[in-house]
Amino acid sequence: MKGWLSCLSEAKVLRGDGEREEFSSLSYDSRRAKAGDLFLCMKGSTMDSHDKIPELLEKGVRVFVVEKNLPDLPKEMQDREDLCIVQVENGRKALAELSAFYFSYPSKEMLMIGITGTKGKTTTASMVRAILTEAGYNCGLIGTTGIDYAGIHEESRNTTPESYTLQETFRKMKEKGCNAVVMEASSQGFKMHRTDGILFDYGIFTNIEEDHIGENEHKDFAEYKYYKSRIFTQSKTGLVNLDADFSEEFMENAECPCFSFALKKQADFMATEIEDLHRHDFLGCRFHFRHGEEDWEIWNHLPGRYNVYNALAAISLASLLGIKKEVVQSALRKIQVNGRMEVVLQRGGYTVLVDYAHNAMGMKNLLETLKAYKPKRLIVVFGCGGNRAKERRYGMGEVAGEMADFTILTADNSRYEKTMDIISDIESTLSKKTKNYVKIEDRREAIRYALEQAEEGDLIAVIGKGHEEYNEVNGTFTRFVDREVILEEAEREGK
């Protein structure tokens, strides 16, 4: 490929002719590099790929983008006159720019929607995708639960993948017929330049709370907030939850025109007359969406007021796109979000759902939401991950003791700890609040027991794993999907 040098916003040619130099493919992993590649060297927190230059020269790599000055590079490189060496200030930014160039800027060929916020990104993204799909779009999805497009599912290590993976994915989506992409844009994604080179048609801000602050994340809340706000420097139009903290600051500093949505404050898009509903075939909220003269009655098949916010964000976007009311109503009436308040079974007068809540705060929010539906009994099935902070176990045990009517303690990715040791830690705080619990080490057996004990009017929440499709024990991963196990055991029991 020629002409690549011009795609870099900051570049200094140290050797060779970058304008005329060609490369066949782009790489930044020395294990995969080969002759003919342009290789991008970066200084990471644990590894510096500049140290791999002698090995790369042996492989026949001749085109390099580096972060170091020529005298600081390995001697083997300094002695070679047949190389093209270009210096950049930030390798991650350069990787994003080069990746967009290498894959021929695929994001420019599709409707691009980015969603950021502390909570609600995954659910809002799924709702937006459901509405767009109902409206006839071929829509790809990128986020916490992985990458989905055209019937293909790919796992992803990060909520917002590395820039090269993002651009490669956009190109694959486009080749499979996608004309829209909905993606979660994390604060780390902005900080690590993974989203550089993307101009979102619409950027959505859901909310912000103190989170992701610490080593290898953000140094403080100010930095976290700054990177959340970056979405409005990379969007043509913004959508802001006006009820969220710092929303007005985000709107004032936005570099694009912004619309607002809210339940409490007066906004461009509003949700009113909210009603929690639990029927034999429906668990969720009914509300009215109002914008100007528009008044749409919405049945949102996800429980909880915070899911009204998520739905409102998605509906507001649909309104801006001119999508018809009937399309939105149909999509949300049947919405299911993998592992997020996912209603799996409604039978015999009881309801079973799956949720990803895996810490005390998430569990408390979930149980408060479910208790608002006034179930006969609120039954919770959960465990805690091994080799993680024990405070999480103690906190979840305390919340379960205070809020659940009955608790079933079980396994959840025990990793290199013994499951019963983890359960004992949870029990140490749970038992101080209630005696209404049992311990069943095997998660399938725990789910079976919950179904066997279910009565009309019960709400059963199987939590902690959510969308995960595995159970990890002593380094071994075996398939385990809560949704599948619930349905299998219900079929076996005939319930």
Binding-site residue ranges: 30, 117-123, 158-160, 186, 194
Q: Which residues are annotated as a binding site for ATP?
A: 117-123
Whole-number Å distance between alpha carbons of 301 and 123: 12
Query: Please, where are the H alpha helices in 373-453?
Result: 390-403, 419-430, 443-453
CA 125 to chain centre: 9
Dihedral (Cα; 154, 155, 157, 161), 10-degree rounding: 20
**Cα distances (Å, whole numbers) of residue 214 to 54, 92, 386:** 35, 21, 21
Q: Which two tokens stand for residue 27?
A: 């790489």
Strand partners, 262: 270
- Provide the terminal-to-terminal Cα distance of the chain, rounded to the nearest Å: 61
Q: Would you tell me how many other CB atoms lie within 10 Å of the CB of residue 99? A: 26
Q: Is 277 exposed, middle or buried (0-12, 13-18, 19+ CB in 10 A)?
A: middle
Q: Which two tokens stand for residue 105?
A: 């800027």
Q: Name which of 116, 342, 142, 124 is nearest 209 in CA terms.
A: 116
Whole-number Å distance between alpha carbons of 364 and 382: 13
Whole-number Å distance between alpha carbons of 125 and 102: 27
Per the listing, tokens 């009436």 go with 333
Q: Is 188 exposed, middle or buried (0-12, 13-18, 19+ CB in 10 A)?
A: middle
Dihedral (Cα; 237, 243, 244, 248), 10-degree rounding: 60
Cβ proximity of 182 and 132 under 8 Å: yes
